[in-house]
């Protein structure tokens, strides 16, 4: 399977490869940077608490296990791991297609953007998905994250389902207003 190859592809000073347990420290840094970025992009987003930030190592480590998961990184020859993408295969036999790919997280360090790193990560994940018979890919990104919106829409992703949110106090206040005679 594509994911198990040590070095998937070399491009300039970069190497696209499967993430390894030795990458955990850098993966934690990248995912915390992603979290900080999306929290800044949308002030209404749920915030990751201190305990969750501290416990990322176990979560990421579990996602490096093969099965239906794929974790790829791009490594720069001087700067080390500077980009990551996590994907997994979702199987639901009640729908067609029954096998879908889900991109869970993707992030490239700011100083390496616009160098083809993100598109190489997505291309590598697409090869993994195609090899597993996946016909459709889904992902979620935060409203207000304009970089994500531009990147994903340029690759053909378009909204299908909208997830909304509100503070319970706001909903209760509106209900009171609507229910008054």
Q: What is the average pLDDT value for the chain, to the nearest integer?
A: 90
Tell me the per-residue pLDDT of 140-168, one tens digit each, with 9 for 90 and over.
999 999 999 999 999 999 999 988 999 99
Res. 1: pLDDT tops 60: no
What is the token pair recorded at 10? 């070399």
CATH assignment, 2-179: 3.40.630.30
Could you tell me the pLDDT band of residue 4, with boundaries at 50, 70 and 90?
very low
Could you tell me the pLDDT band of residue 6, with boundaries at 50, 70 and 90?
very low
| Dihedral (CA of 25, 37, 80, 153) sign | positive
CB 134 within 8 Å of CB 12: no
The CA distance from 10 to 36, in Å, is 29
SS3 state at 102: strand
Tell me the per-residue pLDDT of 65-123, one tens digit each, with 9 for 90 and over.
767 899 999 999 999 999 999 999 999 999 988 899 999 999 999 999 999 999 999 99
How many C-beta atoms surround the C-beta of residue 56 within 10 A? 17
Give the DSSP letter of residue 4: G
Res. 2: pLDDT tops 60: no
The CA distance from 81 to 108, in Å, is 9
pTM metric for this prediction: 0.87
Name the pairing type of β-strands 7-11 and 99-108.
Answer: unpaired
What is the token pair recorded at 163? 């997830």
CB 120 within 8 Å of CB 16: yes
The CA distance from 99 to 162, in Å, is 21
**pLDDT confidence of residue 50:** 85
């Amino acid at each position: 399977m594509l994911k198990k190859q040590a070095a998937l592809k070399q491009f300039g000073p970069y190497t696209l490869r499967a993430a390894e347990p030795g990458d955990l420290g850098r993966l934690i840094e990248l995912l915390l940077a992603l979290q900080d970025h999306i929290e800044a992009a949308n002030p209404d987003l749920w915030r990751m608490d201190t305990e969750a930030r501290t416990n990322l190592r176990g979560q990421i480590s579990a996602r490096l296990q093969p099965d239906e998961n794929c974790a790829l990184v791009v490594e720069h020859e001087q700067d080390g791991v500077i980009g990551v993408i996590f994907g997994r295969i979702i199987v639901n036999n009640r729908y067609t297609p029954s096998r879908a790919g889900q991109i869970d997280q993707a992030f490239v360090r700011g100083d390496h953007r616009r160098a083809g790193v993100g598109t190489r990560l997505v291309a590598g994940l697409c090869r993994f998905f195609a090899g597993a018979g996946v016909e459709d890919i889904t992902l979620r990104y935060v409203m207000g994250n304009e970089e994500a919106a531009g990147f994903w829409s340029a690759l053909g992703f378009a909204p299908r389902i909208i997830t909304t949110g509100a503070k319970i106090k706001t909903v209760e206040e509106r209900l009171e207003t609507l229910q008054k005679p």
